[in-house]
Chains A and B, each alone.
Chain A
Amino acid sequence: MDLPIVALLAQDGITNGAIYALLALALVLVFAVTRVIWVPSGEFLAYGTLTLAGLQLGKASGIAGLLAGMAVVAGAMEAWRSIGDGEARRLPARLALWTGLPLAIAAALYFIAPLQPPFFVQILLALTAVTALGPLLYRIAFQPVAEASVLVLLIVAVAVHFALVGLGLWFFGAEGSRTPPFTSASFELGGVTVSGQSVLVVATSIALIFALALFFNRTLYGRALRATAVNRVGARLAGISPGFAGTLTFTLGALMCAFCGVLIGPITTVYYDSGFLISLKGFVGAIFGGLVTYPAAAAGSLLVGVLESFSSFWASAFKEVIVFTLIIPVLLWLSLTTQHHEEDE
């Protein structure tokens, strides 16, 4: 193994690690605010890539249909709730938000897709569509059980993962897709070839992480989410509705995962069921931070990416085995350093 290979593997690892890091941050965010262990994050990633790949071919009917269907269900749930709570007056506004807006996005997708708009517009469309799935999913699947134990929320999350994988197969088919690279540029850096694509992925991830940090530190909504993560009851007393915090969190989480999907599209062939394995690598990263610490989660994800890249060189058949077995020593370390062992029911 010589230097160019090491450099190549490291570059690969860091590129993938940057994507895992973004995923890990989404997972930590969602867990901290809603206590949902967001297993279906991987499906959002795969949907991101595959929606973009579909748009390349002028097709977006599947995802548009899913959005429309979920919009109708969410609308029905809102209507049920509004009438049950005697808040029928607020129903039109809620319907506009939960049914009207997603239907509009679905319609835009459906009608713009065949026109084959420029790549940039396609990316924007794919991100919008997949991001819109986040809050809808929260409203339909998680909000009704928001007060349940972490365990119940986890089982719901796994059930949603199951359904989304099945739907992914239906909409996108069993064939994998790749999206065209954003750039084919590459340059030499100290005798090592660095691809523009890698630089772009890493730079975008870092930019997004900084944007999130700004959001959480500088904006009212960001602070509201942080408050909810620290103390749910306290935040509620301060006027932050848990439903709102959950919706906003899932919107952000979905956006981050869809973004990962767009970033990973040119690097790997993504299948309808690829998301699970990719998101689990994010989980392994997130567990480094005990599912609560952002910097540790990001660092852990980078390590996962690099480890994966090197093990695919040394023992490619056992790549996944090595990456997922890594979780055991990490958990051992966590278990030895964590004193508190009470259930958080």
Chain B
Amino acid sequence: MSGGSWTRYAFVAFVAVLVAVPAVAPAFWVTLGNYIGLYSIVALGLVLLTGVAGQTSFGQAAFVGIGAYTTAWLTTSLGYTPWITLAIGLAVTAAVALALGAITLRMKGHYLPLATIAWGISLYFLFGNLDFLGGHTGLTSIPPLAIGSFELKAERALFLFVWAIALAALWATANLLDSRPGRAIRALRGGFEMAEAFGVDGARMKTVVFVYAALLACVSGWLYAHLQRFVNPTPFSINMGIEYLFMAVVGGAGSVWGAVVGATLITLLKQVLQDILPGLLGRSGNFEMIVFGVLLVVLLQRAREGVWPWIARLLPRSAPRPVPDAPPLKARHHAEHPGPLLEVRAARKAFGGLVAVNDLTFDIRAGEILGLIGPNGAGKSTTFALISGALPLTTGDVVFRGRSIGSRPPYEIARRGIGRTFQHVKLIPGMSVLDHVALGAYLRGTTGVARAALKLDRQEEARTRAEAARQIARCGLTAHTFESAGSLALGQQRIVEIARALACDPTLLLLDEPAAGLRYLEKQQLAALLRGLKAEGMTILLVEHDMDFVMGITDRLVVMDFGEKLAEGLPAEIQRNPRVREAYLGGVAE
């Protein structure tokens, strides 16, 4: 969507076609086009939810229903104008989605879809059984939408209105994805851990996405009610909710255009199948369900990304947007703190009866590289998790700059000024190096969803991108700035993680086995980078088990074995320490 000139031409052509449709196309196609527009709006929300944030909902049809029934009831029974009922519908939808999200989004991914199935069915039966909503017959004589005194009564007039809203939603969603909150949303796909390490409150962000998708569905329902001028429960059933998801998945849940493609394909296919299948099978019924079901299974087995990537491949690739020259983001607070920068005080982690970290105490002083080493299973990674907030402490505490951070959630620890990398590289496939590093700068920006969707964030965005480019240059990866991070070699991926951590302007950098799996040359490059960072005044905790690597670059070492501190001192002392040698070579010496 961003930048490239062909996208602009394609977009202009698309709009031209849309404007021409109501003028020249037969009524049947205009009607179909209206429905495709309405469905696209709903599918767009699912693209964001399913394809980008890695969540899903089968209950979008119910949100469409809330939008439709709110306006239907308020305009027919109470005589409200549709513009007010839209606002009320959105408020009701937001409240319901917030409540559902708050309950389910803190749990594993599959509870949200299950809850949406159940709630979709509940609402459907509720619509059908409430007398004031007309029961199963529904509500009729809904007034048409009017702009001033001009009534959008004719389908042809509404067509332009529906598609204007659909395109606005598309534009806003594409803006959102290419922004500070958008990067955070994309980071949710691999789970909370990575996003939270950069200050994103994962559960909150997921809720935001869910509410956003629900609001889009509500708008679609509101339009539907004033297009049809009558509502009944059928189009808001769980089956329709499932079809919306099919649209997003078939079209390609990874791109906003996938929503339009999917809505178009499924709508046309349904039309065709409803015409021919009953004839073929010799009776009437919803036989298109069979084809949809089989089609989706095949698609998920063979081409999980949907149809859009196939179309995108045919289009010329747009050049990446150049990184603007912009003033730096505000530096974060690095006030001098007397005493050690980080203190691990009698930290203990027990998993049931197994004590992985046993009352461990050590300090990290400002400006040093401290190595935390030990044989496999010594408890290094658990210690790392206790400091970074990935695991809560059983007892003890971790104190950073004089304030306790023990057992705080990772996003709070990130806010205090601690950046980290992951032992198993956590990068989002398809996301560029620049975007990954810009995600690291999440805490240094303030743009929220609304500003991002309306593209009011360009100044901050330019500064963020410039900052990301600077960190990439600092780590020597400029040549790969626009490449997909997932396509780089492991050594480069680890450097991307370091650049990402640096982008948050940390006071303390936590590196979890950065040399694991690297080749000799890559290790040397990594060592050079870390020495450079230290020279600039960065404090680093390095968890490693590669002795050679650690000995060359650390100022001090803490050695762990069986969850306890075995030794602490300068690298040369540690190398001579008989207990350390025994821990590493013990079995062999006997």
Contact = CB atoms under 8 A, between A and B. Distances in A.
Interface in B314-329: none
Contacts of B249: 155
A150 B109 contact: yes
Interface of A: 37, 39, 140-141, 144-145, 148-152, 154-156, 158-167, 169-170, 173-174, 276-277, 280, 283-284, 287, 291, 317-318, 320-321, 324-325, 327-328, 331-332, 334-335, 338, 341-345
B126 A37 contact: no
A170 B129 CA distance: 29
Contact of B122 (A140, A173, A320, A344): A320
Contact of B107 (A148, A173, A327, A331): A331
Dominant secondary structure at the B interface: helix
Contacts of A327: 114-115, 118-119
Interface residues of B, number: 53
Contact of A345 (B115, B190, B239): B190
Contacts of B106: 335, 338, 341
Given A37-B110, A151-B54, A155-B249, A145 B103 contact: no
Contacts of A174: 285
Q: Find the residue from A155, A276, A343 having the highest chain B CB count within 10 A.
A: A155
B54 A159 contact: no
A151 B291 CA distance: 21
Given A144-B301, A154-B113, A344 B108 contact: yes
B126 A318 contact: yes
Given A325-B122, A343-B191, A158 B115 contact: no
B118 A284 contact: yes
A328 B290 contact: no
A121 B481 CA distance: 69
Interface of B: 50, 54-56, 58, 100, 103-104, 106-111, 113-115, 117-119, 121-122, 125-126, 129, 190-193, 203, 238-239, 242, 245-246, 249, 281, 283, 285-294, 296-297, 300-301, 304
Given A170-B281, A335-B106, A341-B203, A156 B297 contact: yes
A45 B450 CA distance: 47
Given A37-B110, A151-B109, A174-B285, A331 B103 contact: yes
A152 B304 contact: yes
B192 A343 contact: yes
Given A150-B110, A331-B111, A163 B294 contact: yes
A167 B281 CA distance: 11
Contacts of B294: 159, 163
A118 B121 CA distance: 39
A343 B54 contact: yes
Contact of B297 (A160, A277, A328, A331): A160
Contacts of A155: 56, 245, 249, 296, 300
B107 A335 contact: yes
B126 A321 contact: yes
27 contacts: A145-B300, A151-B109, A151-B110, A154-B110, A154-B113, A156-B296, A156-B300, A159-B246, A159-B292, A160-B297, A163-B292, A164-B293, A165-B289, A166-B290, A169-B289, A280-B118, A283-B118, A291-B110, A324-B121, A327-B115, A328-B103, A328-B115, A328-B118, A328-B119, A341-B192, A341-B203, A345-B190
A277 B100 CA distance: 21
B114 A335 contact: no
B532 to A, nearest CB: 34
A317 B126 CA distance: 9
A229 B193 CA distance: 25
B287 A151 contact: no
Given A158-B245, A341-B203, A335 B293 contact: no
B103 A332 contact: yes
B116 to A, nearest CB: 10
Contacts of A344: 108-109
A54 B499 CA distance: 67
Contacts of A39: 117
A163 B55 CA distance: 23
A324 B122 CA distance: 6
Contact of B125 (A140, A291, A321): A321
A341 B107 contact: yes
B113 A331 contact: no
